Structure 1
Amino acid sequence: MREPSETGAGERILVVGPSWVGDMVMAQSLFMTLKARYPGCRIAVMAPAWSLPILERMAEVDEGVALDVGHGEFGWHTRHRVARALRGRFDRAIVLPRSWKSALVPFLARIPQRIGFTGEQRYGVLNDRRRLDKAVLDQTVKRFVALGLPAEKAVKGNFPIPRPHLAVDADNLAELRGVHGLSTRPGIGMMPGAEYGPAKQWPLAHFRALAKALVAEGFAVRVLGGPGDSEAGETIARGLGHVHNLCGRTRLADAVDLLADCRQVVTNDSGLMHVAAAAGTWVHALYGSSSPAYTPPLTDSADIHTLALECSPCFARTCPLGHTRCLTELSPERLLTAVLDAERHLAVEN
């Protein structure tokens, strides 16, 4: 199959984006690769409506296209309607998810070149199917970037990975500080949630103990997450001065600005971990059932905290052995020491 010209002058590319916050942030590495490789190309990203505010913070994305289909829902009428609206507008489609239905809109929109990894019998809906070698493309972000490269270059797996970078809205940040009455102390972010399951979640008692110790050291703590994390945030913040429970009280775009304003963050392996890394904040990433080799924060400003027990990573949603030692034995004292060490490093840099 003919590859697009290396100049890519005026090429119109539709990317079918992922449905998870962290994956959408990592997809920016693909967008950056496309803009660098094909100057003058125009990139549109089709994704769930919730992700559009994140896409607006990516300089490489020219257009966001909402596909409002519920989780697990096929949504034939919605996909057909969106496909009709896109017909004739694009030269190439890159499909990041590996499901059959994710490739349906580009097929129905009659986009000439439709690229994606082989999966779920996607013969026909894709006409440039790539074999996924998981040993070579051993990280999610590598798999995304590979689909933006010619097949013969992608297969080697030794291509550069640009680091995601989300723009910050200073005016919005100033408003958020006032609306939420945030402390003027230097901020530490905490993200106790992880949608995948409890085997990725550091104990709330550990988060609370660390928050209490950080306040004693002169910091303020901002607990961030979605509406489902509100109770967890309250468990961490209850009765502690300078600890703000913002879970469920901010938009996703607000989280970008609030995390960029933090000195550091302590976070489970979650979508907001990747947001914090792309916002330029020092990240302390906690890994239990998952692996930092597969979905690391894409930044040099990160400390990885994992015990690497004989039973981990198991990639399970809940601990198969019932003890979750990989997280419970990561002590708050260890994280406090790491935060203070990083703070000294940041002070020297500044």
Structure 2
Amino acid sequence: MPVQFMRFIDFWLGAPCCLLLTLWLRVARLFRRPRPRPERLRRVIFIQLAESGAFVAAQAAMRRLEERHPGAEPWVLTFGLGGQVLDALRFPRDRRIVIRTDGLWTFCRDTLAAIARMRALAPDATVNLETFARFSTLLAALSGAPIRAGFFRFHDEGRYTGGLLTHRLVYSPHLHAAQTYAALVESLAEEPGPEPAAKVAVPLEDLELPRVPSDPALRARVEEMLRSLCPGWEPSWRLVLLNVNASDMAPNRRWPEANYLELAARLAEPPDVLVGFIGAPGERAAVERLLRELPHPRVHNLAGRTGLPDLMELFHAADLLVTNDSGPAHLAGAAEIDVIVLFGPETPKIFRPLGPRVRAVSLELACSPCISAYNQKRSPCRDNRCMKGISVESVLGMAQVALGRRP
């Protein structure tokens, strides 16, 4: 379903649904005792629906759950794309609940099935990684979990989500997303109350960064694909990946396509450099049209040629990724590759991909960041100078430094 339609539904139907469910739960407590708080956590469902790239940062929170609550089993509730990201991160398939969004009927049917599945699992807690999203808050309440952690608008900082959370946190726009998610896990050990939960420090350096090791079988498949595209290619060549795309949730995160074409042409000048444009299957045609403006024997369209597990291995095989702020940037942070991420409407202070070889680029204009958790990542800007102002020369210079470090 289109992103704007989902936002519309969440805005207009979400608020009354949160209010009605809040009233229903309060009335129900008059006639039956709520499920008691468990002595120890056994099953915790992490809810992350739209921002599938956030699962990379959420891995640190899941590890913290296992550290703080030995024996606790993390589960995930997500949309269809999130399931593919979990494949790339090698998260167990038998601990996922997936809601497909390809059609209203499918979406409604999968939502009801997801609620039934959660209630059958009888989770001890839910961790809502979505910020002020009403749909995910409703799902958490309908799961039947006695502990429900999430972000709450204490003095109108965010959107109304009813009284459906038991552990309410203040959302801080000054913390990295990984710290924010870890704080949610920290709150699970506390007793519910009117005060904001998780009044603890969560240093970023204390969080275990997610790493996905290379897979020899996937590497062979990736190398075969590269040879089929460029018969002269050898593993000794330098491989540069470019991601011209960004999700429909915030299209103004895109660097101009003309800049990517110029960057590709400049990077492909040495005879031992192969440049590939990556993307989802639905983005393949758009990338194909773009590359008609740059016919080059060592610049190729890789969009749609790999599933996300193969894409992760492609990151291991490559030397550099230049990308907009989007899901592939976060996935690449878990692989052995240099990454240059271009930020504009959002801030790298919150969403910078984790990893020692990631470099974030931002002009830090006075109007940026203009999209956040408070406005559902909707911006009135139609002239994203924060992205247009990032010069090809500056990105090329950083790319050449990264490629120069290769043995």
TM-score if structure 1 supplies the norm length?
Answer: 0.85
Of the candidates 264, 267, 292, which is equivalent to residue 214 of structure 1?
Answer: 267
Change (3 A) 1:58 1:2: farther
Match of 1:155 in 2: 199
SS at match of 2:354: coil
Shift of 1:333: 2.1
More deviation in 197-206 or 288-297?
197-206
Structure 2: unaligned runs, 5 residues or longer: 1-34, 154-158, 191-196, 372-376
Inter-CA distance 33–328: structure 2 relative to 1 (3 Å threshold): same
Cα 1:69–1:216 change in 2 (3 A) is closer
| Alignment of structure 1 residues 1-350 onto 2, 5 Å | 11-58=42-89, 61=92, 63-69=95-101, 77-89=109-121, 90-97=123-130, 98-118=132-152, 121-123=160-162, 125-126=164-165, 128-135=166-173, 138-150=175-187, 154-159=198-203, 160-180=206-226, 181-182=228-229, 183-184=233-234, 185-195=237-247, 196-217=249-270, 218-234=272-288, 235-236=290-291, 238-315=294-371, 320=381, 322=383, 324-347=384-407
Residue 36 of structure 1 and its aligned partner are, at CA, apart by: 2.4
Once the two structures are TM-superposed, the CA of residue 46 in structure 1 deviates from its matched residue by 1.2
Structure 1 partner of 2:13: none
C-alpha distance in 1 between matches for 2:70 and 2:406: 36
Letter in 1 for 2:170: L
Deviation string for 1:300-323 (max 9, x for gaps)?
21222222233433338678373x
When residues 260 and 71 of structure 1 are mapped into structure 2, their CA distance, relative to the original with a 3 A threshold, is: farther
Q: Distance in 2 between matches of 1:191 and 1:96?
A: 26
TM-score (norm 2): 0.74
Task: Give the length in aligned residue pairs.
Answer: 341
Is the 2:151–2:168 Cα contact (8 Å) retained in structure 1? yes
In 2, the alpha carbon distance for the partners of 1:307 and 1:121 equals: 33
Note closer, same or farther for the CA distance 1:101–1:314 as it changes in structure 2 (3 Å cut).
Answer: closer
Identity in percent? 26
- In structure 1, list runs of 5 or more residues that go unmatched: none
Which residue identity lines up with residue 189 of structure 1 in the other structure?
L
Cα gap change, 1:12 to 1:319, in 2 (>3 Å): closer
Query: Using a 3 Å threshold, how does the CA distance of structure 1 residues 328 and 117 change in structure 2: closer, same or farther?
Result: closer
Q: Secondary structure at the match of 1:216?
A: coil
Shift of 1:129: 3.1
Shift of the 179–318 alpha-carbon distance from structure 1 to 2, 3 Å rule, reads same
The residue identity in structure 2 corresponding to 1:332 is V
- AA at the equivalent of 1:212: A
| AA at the equivalent of 1:215 | A
**Cα contact 1:190–1:223 (8 A) shared by 2:** yes
Letter in 2 for 1:95: N
Distance in 2 between residues matched to 1:319 and 1:306, nearest whole Å: 19
Check conservation: 2:240, 2:275, Cα contact below 8 A. Answer: yes
In the aligned structure 1, how far is the partner of 2:243 from the partner of 2:162? 40
Residues 30 and 148 in structure 1, CA contact (< 8 A), matched pair in contact too = yes
Render the CA deviation track for 1:156-209: whole Å, top value 9, x for unaligned: 343433322234433123223324525322211111111144421111111111
- Residues 20-76 of structure 1: CA deviation (Å, up to 9, x unaligned): 232222222211221222232211111113322322344665611112245899955
> CA 1:179 to 1:321, structure 2 compared with 1: closer, same or farther past 3 Å?
closer
* CA distance in structure 1 between the aligned counterparts of 2:162 and 2:387, rounded to whole angstroms: 42
Q: Alpha carbons of 1:106 and 1:303: their partners in 2 closer, same or farther (altered >3 Å)?
A: closer
Give the greater-gyration-radius structure (CA): 2
| Larger proportion of helix | 2
| Cα shift readout 1:244-275 (whole Å, capped 9, x = no counterpart) | 21123322222211122111110111111111
Q: CA separation of 1:124/1:289 partners in 2, compared to 1, >3 Å: closer, same or farther?
A: closer
Q: Which amino acid aligns with 1:213?
A: R
User: Distance in 2 between the 1:65 and 1:287 partners?
Assistant: 31
Q: Distance in 2 between matches of 1:191 and 1:47?
A: 24
Q: Which amino acid aligns with 2:268?
A: V
Q: Distance in 1 between matches of 2:133 and 2:258?
A: 38
- Conserved 8 A contact 2:275-2:300: yes
Q: Is the 8 A contact 1:12 1:42 kept in 2?
A: yes
Structure 1 residues 56 and 247 mapped into 2: Cα distance closer, same or farther (>3 Å)?
A: closer
CA distance in 2, matches of 1:197, 1:14: 27
* Residue pair 1:192, 1:229 contacting (<8 A) in 2 also: no
Secondary structure of 1:294's counterpart equals helix
* Matched-pair contact (CA < 8 Å) for 1:88–1:110: no
